[in-house]
């Protein structure tokens, strides 16, 4: 028989998993998501999260508690009488009473090959570190941060110019399929769990604003990994020189460039920028308040002469 599930998720990354679970015929007793946030210039209208939007499209009940640590919230969770819970980038910590409230357990879809990159920003950190491989895992949750045993995993190669956005979309798609396969095995009673190895643990700390500015003095590969690891959000940036207040420009895509020069120097008309060692060529970028554009489009409206220094 199909499982009776609670689904817990918030951003775009979790939407494919919810859609797959519903599509495979599992009964979703309730969907938990973070509360809607004010949107628009004046912040008056509340914008539902992507998971809440998708859940309502399916006609599912949506709950948005601010915490799960109260007895009231925990009693409400138990009242759904679910067999298991699925957690995908939910955004709230699940205390032990919640983890213990479903007989088959809570299963998390995590966007890394645990135990590497436990924590908040595994996709960004993997690319920023220059990893050549990532993956998705389904893990049975414990009280520790991403420490639970692994049920299933799938590896994905990280291409040399792949951005965090590219990897995010691929992991969301493959992770959704991985989760429904794990739930199928759980339903049949054939799901096996493997403890995580003690060696190789790393932590993917949340991205802070003070690490988003591009440091052209670093070797080209580090600059390239930094840019693609923060693309499209929050975005690595430089300041455009010129009269008046400098304009901030996000760089969304780069590739290996040719040539050498003082770090931050524009080397040619193709927007190749010198780094501490080697160079990167900017492929796509975005001015504040504008849509992303190719380097060619950008240069039609912005003069960046060879020899200009970016900061």
User: 35 is written with which tokens?
Assistant: 């509360």
* Domain end among 203, 222, 239: 203
Q: Which residues pair with 284 in a beta bridge?
A: 253, 294
Q: Residue 59 and residue 149: Cα distance in Å, rounded? A: 33
Shared domain for 69 and 128, answered yes or no, is yes
Confirm whether 149 is domain-assigned. yes
Shared domain for 228 and 196, answered yes or no, is no
User: 231 is written with which tokens?
Assistant: 């693309």
From first CA to last CA, the distance across the chain in angstroms is 60
Shared domain for 163 and 74, answered yes or no, is yes
Going by their DSSP bridges, the two strands 236-240 and 279-287 should be labelled as unpaired
| Backbone angles phi and psi of 211, in degrees to 5 | -115, 15
- Residue-range definition of the domain harbouring residue 284: 209-301
Confirm whether 25 is domain-assigned. yes
Taking phi over 0 as left and psi of -120 to 50 as alpha, with beta for the rest, 20 belongs to alpha
Say what the pLDDT of residue 18 is: 98
Shared domain for 168 and 278, answered yes or no, is no
Predicted structure pTM score:
0.94
Residue 63, SS3 per DSSP: strand
| Backbone angles phi and psi of 146, in degrees to 5 | 55, 40
Shared domain for 177 and 223, answered yes or no, is no
Shared domain for 196 and 222, answered yes or no, is no
User: 251 is written with which tokens?
Assistant: 């760089």
Residue 166, SS3 per DSSP: helix
Shared domain for 178 and 282, answered yes or no, is no
Shared domain for 199 and 215, answered yes or no, is no
Residue pair 272/281 in contact (Cβ under 8 Å)? The answer is: yes
Give the helix ranges, DSSP H, for 24-121: 50-57, 71-78, 96-99
| Backbone angles phi and psi of 171, in degrees to 5 | -70, -35
311 residues of the chain, pLDDT tens digit each: 789 999 999 999 999 999 999 999 999 999 999 999 887 656 567 899 999 999 999 999 999 999 999 999 999 999 999 999 999 999 999 999 999 999 999 999 999 999 999 999 999 999 999 999 999 999 999 999 999 999 999 999 999 999 999 999 999 999 999 999 999 999 999 999 999 999 999 999 999 999 999 999 999 999 999 999 999 999 999 998 875 556 899 999 999 999 999 999 999 999 999 999 999 999 999 998 899 999 999 998 887 899 999 98
Confirm whether 79 is domain-assigned. yes
Q: How many other CB atoms sit within 10 Å of the CB of residue 301?
A: 9
Residue with tokens 């948005």: 64
Shared domain for 151 and 214, answered yes or no, is no
The CATH number assigned to the domain holding 277 equals 3.10.25.10
Shared domain for 135 and 256, answered yes or no, is no
Q: Residue 112 and residue 11: Cα distance in Å, rounded? A: 17
Q: How many domains does the chain contain in total? A: 2
Shared domain for 84 and 153, answered yes or no, is yes
Confirm whether 128 is domain-assigned. yes
CA 300 vs. chain centroid, Å, equals 33
CA 164 vs. chain centroid, Å, equals 7
Going by their DSSP bridges, the two strands 293-294 and 279-287 should be labelled as antiparallel
Residue with tokens 């946030």: 37
Shared domain for 190 and 215, answered yes or no, is no
Q: Residue 176 and residue 300: Cα distance in Å, rounded? A: 41
């Amino acid at each position: 028989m199909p499982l009776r599930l609670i689904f817990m998720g918030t951003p775009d990354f979790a939407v494919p998993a919810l859609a797959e679970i519903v599509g495979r015929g599992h009964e979703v007793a309730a969907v938990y998501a973070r509360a809607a946030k004010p949107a628009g210039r004046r912040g008056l209208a509340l914008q539902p999260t992507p998971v809440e939007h998708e859940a309502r499209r399916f006609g599912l009940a949506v709950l948005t508690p601010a915490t799960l640590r109260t007895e009231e919230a925990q009693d409400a969770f138990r009242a759904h009488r679910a067999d298991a819970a699925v957690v995908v980038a939910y955004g709230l910590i699940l205390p032990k009473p919640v983890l213990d409230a479903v007989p088959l357990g809570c299963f998390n879809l995590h966007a890394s090959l645990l135990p590497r990159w436990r924590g908040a920003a595994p996709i960004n950190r993997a690319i920023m570190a220059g990893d050549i491989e990532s993956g998705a895992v389904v893990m049975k949750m414990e009280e520790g941060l991403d420490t639970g045993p692994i049920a299933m995993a799938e590896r994905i190669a990280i291409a040399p110019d792949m951005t965090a956005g590219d990897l995010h979309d691929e992991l969301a798609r493959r992770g959704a399929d991985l989760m429904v396969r794990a739930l199928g095995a759980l339903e049949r009673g054939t799901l096996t769990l493997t403890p995580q190895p003690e060696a190789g643990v790393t932590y993917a700390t949340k991205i802070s604003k003070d690490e988003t500015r591009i440091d052209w003095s670093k070797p080209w590969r580090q600059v390239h990994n930094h840019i693609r690891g923060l693309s499209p959000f929050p975005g690595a940036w430089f300041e455009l020189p010129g009269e008046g207040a400098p304009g901030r420009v996000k760089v969304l895509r780069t590739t290996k460039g040719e040539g050498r020069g003082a770090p931050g120097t524009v080397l040619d008309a193709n927007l190749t920028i010198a780094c501490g060692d080697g160079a990167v060529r900017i492929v796509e970028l975005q001015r504040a308040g504008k849509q992303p554009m190719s380097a060619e489009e950008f240069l039609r409206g912005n003069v960046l002469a060879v020899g200009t220094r970016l900061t």
